[in-house]
Amino acid sequence: MSAGYFPKRDKVGLEDLFKGLVTACHILHHNGIVDAYGHISVRSPDNAATFWMPSNMPPALVSSPDDLVEYDVDGAEPVEKNNTKPGYLERHIHSEMYKRYPAINCVVHSHAGDVLPYCVSGVPLKNTIHMAGFLGTNVPVWDAAGHYPSSSKHDLLVRDSTLGTSLAAALKPATSTGFIYSKVRSALPSQLGGSSSEPKMEPDHAVVLLQGHGFTTVAHGIEEAVYQAIYTKEAAKAQTTALTIQNAHTGYALEGKVDVGAGGKIKSGHAKVEGGGLKYLSDRESHDAWESISGTLTKPWALWCREVEVNPLYKNDCPGGGD
């Protein structure tokens, strides 16, 4: 948990939360994680049974508390019953993550173009850079096919709790071991399970890809979630570039027998790759890299805040000033 926009549990903390959530929307847009689509939410600091997210609008244009809506975790319906602000159709992504994982406080959903190829190609997204140690060595892919409720539209959108529940389960809850669990739980405040003898459920993965759709990342605070979203994109870019240049550089040697009389077809054999394979981070390297980086999240957060603060596109009218 980063020491930013979640731990405070008073009125001032809620104001800080609004300011941080609006800022996060701007940062995610500025870094190409969201465009007119995509969204971020955060669990309420004073009520774990609710969460806040913008109304259905482009993230770059979110600017004040009036643009935010509080939802119940159970059902994803507005807490304010006479609410007239339109909500994101896919808010069930967020509600079901919060419902299944009590220690998770922030969720980002994105359709970033650099990540999409790994949602459709069958090529696994695997970590190649130390800045994305949170990815671990295996990023799960969830496919909506087979999970649609009867009479539901088969449009890949997580438009109900049935699909949201299935997606949340793809992060594989860990109760005693697991990548995120083992490295982050010790830093959690006691009300979130840090000192409890019975651990709260946490996911075993920080990121899940959605087949033909995009990705979702979950975290313990806003800064952490934004960081993970940005570096999921950067890791995908690095892997794609590495695979491209490896393909261009690598040679192949034919091993096996060639039947010349049958038109030169290979009877038995295979193509042997020459030039080495792509090297991914090991489980230990991912573990230790994230442990080192996770304590420095205030540094990129400060930079990203300043970048959106001086950009006239973004406005943050939440109490306390600009971004």
Q: Could you list the active site residues? A: 90
For the segment 86-124, what is each residue's pLDDT rounded down to a tens digit?
999 999 999 999 999 999 999 999 999 999 999 999 999
What is the reported pLDDT for 201?
76
For the segment 134-162, what is each residue's pLDDT rounded down to a tens digit?
999 989 999 999 999 988 899 999 999 99
What is the reported pLDDT for 51?
98
What is the reported pLDDT for 256?
66
Position 254 pLDDT exceeds 80:
no
For the segment 2-37, what is each residue's pLDDT rounded down to a tens digit?
334 443 334 447 899 999 999 999 999 999 999 999
> Cα separations (Å) of 103 from 51, 173, 189, 190, 266?
13, 11, 10, 10, 56
Q: What is the mean pLDDT of residues 220-240?
A: 97
pTM exceeds cut of 0.75:
yes
CB 67 within 8 A of CB 54: yes
Position 68 pLDDT exceeds 60:
yes
Q: What is the mean pLDDT of residues 265-270?
A: 61
Query: Which has the closest alpha carbon to 318: 13, 95, 31?
Result: 13
Q: What is the mean pLDDT of residues 272-288?
A: 83
| CATH for the stretch 14-174+202-247+279-310 | 3.40.225.10
What is the reported pLDDT for 14?
87
Position 189 pLDDT exceeds 80:
no
The chain-wide mean pLDDT, for the chain, equals 86
